[in-house]
Amino acid sequence: QITLKESGPTLVKPTQTLTLTCTFSGFSLSTSGVGVGWIRQPPGKALEWLALIYWDDDKRYRPSLRTRLAITKDTSKNQVVLTMTNMDPVDTGTYYCAHKRFGEVNWGQGTLVTVSS
Amino acid sequence: ETTLTQSPAFMSATPGDKVNISCKASRDTDDDMNWYQQKPGEAAIFIIREASTLVPGIPPRFSGSGYGTEFTLTINNIQSEDAAYYFCLQHDKFPYTFGQGTKLEIK
């Protein structure tokens, strides 16, 4: 059974850097075709996919946020870390860690991040 | 970026009804379209993969169809527990994108 758990701060100040960690189980990020990514949902708005890292370290970023995002993996720890720089109140929302392997896409319960001074 | 236009945004149904939810893509996404169900405070449940394949464990009253730019989620014989948000996800081209969601109310 695949589980994904997001962790990180619940409150960040504007201009700060957000660091979120996804700790997963039930699959390996060294398996061909597997990817782990991050999705967010601002209050009252649609979900949006932020970044994705594949088993071979191929990385994808949402073009509009490319300069602010970095995604890394630690296969031995079953973790993926997302950093987002220069946080703004519009970045407030629920952040989800997601697993992807070909047509299968699942994500966790999410963690609420509020950006406020 | 591929835009997904999902409709309707809200619908109300009576137990036993059949409902259709539409998801239209701004470009060809082959069959790389999934459907999800989400209830408030809960994780999203994966119900349809690759446009028409029912995810194991999901009741067969759920079905999906479509290819390319037009997709439909159909729920037959609606049950009270089907009250939820439903949304589509295209995973054909990054950034993967989501529909705005449909809120299904059961009378």
- Nearest residue, CB atoms, B32 vs list A60, A103, A108: A103
Which residues in chain B touch residue A106, judged by CB atoms under 8 angstroms apart? Answer: 44, 46
B89: β partners: B34, B98
- Contacting B with CB below 8 Å, chain A residues are 46-49, 52, 60, 62-63, 100, 103-110
Mean of pLDDT values over B92-100? 96
Nearest to B56 by CA among A28, A106, A36, A49: A106
User: Mean pLDDT in chain A?
Assistant: 96
What's chain A's Rg over C-alpha atoms?
A: 13
Nearest by CB to residue A47, choosing from B32, B91, B98, is B98
Q: How far is CA B28 from CA A115, B22, B48, in A?
A: 36, 15, 18
Round the average pLDDT of chain B to a whole number and report it: 96
Q: Give me the mean pLDDT over the A5-19 stretch.
A: 97
Reported confidence tier of residue B40, pLDDT bands at 50, 70, 90: confident
User: What are the two backbone dihedrals, phi and then psi, of residue B16, each rounded to the nearest 5 degrees?
Assistant: 100, -15
The predicted pLDDT at position B41 comes to: 84
pLDDT value, residue A54: 97
Cβ distance of A63 and B1 shorter than 8 Å:
yes
The predicted-structure confidence for B7-27, as pLDDT tens digits, reads as follows 999 999 999 999 999 999 999
Instruction: Give the separation between CA B23 and CA B5, rounded to whole angstroms.
Output: 6
CA atoms of A71 and A50, how far apart (whole Å): 10
Residue the block writes with tokens 């991050």 = A38
DSSP letter at A29?
T
List Cα–Cα distances, B69 to A16, B29, B93, in angstroms: 40, 6, 13
Identify the pLDDT of residue B32.
Answer: 97
Helices (H) and strands (E) in chain B, counts: 0, 11
**Chain B residues close to A109, C-beta within 8 Å:** 42-43
Report the chain A residue with the minimal C-alpha distance to residue B9.
A46
Measured between beta carbons, which residues in chain B are less than 8 angstroms from residue A62? 95
Looking at the partner chain, which of B44, B49, B94 has a beta carbon nearest the beta carbon of A103? Answer: B49
Q: Which two tokens stand for residue B106?
A: 């059961």
pLDDT digits (tens, 9 = 90+) for A91-110: 999 999 999 999 999 998 99
Q: What are the φ/ψ torsions at residue B50 (nearest 5 degrees)?
A: 50, 50
DSSP secondary structure, B17-47, as one string: --EEEEEEESS--TT-EEEEEE-TTS--EEE
What is the per-residue pLDDT for B3?
A: 97
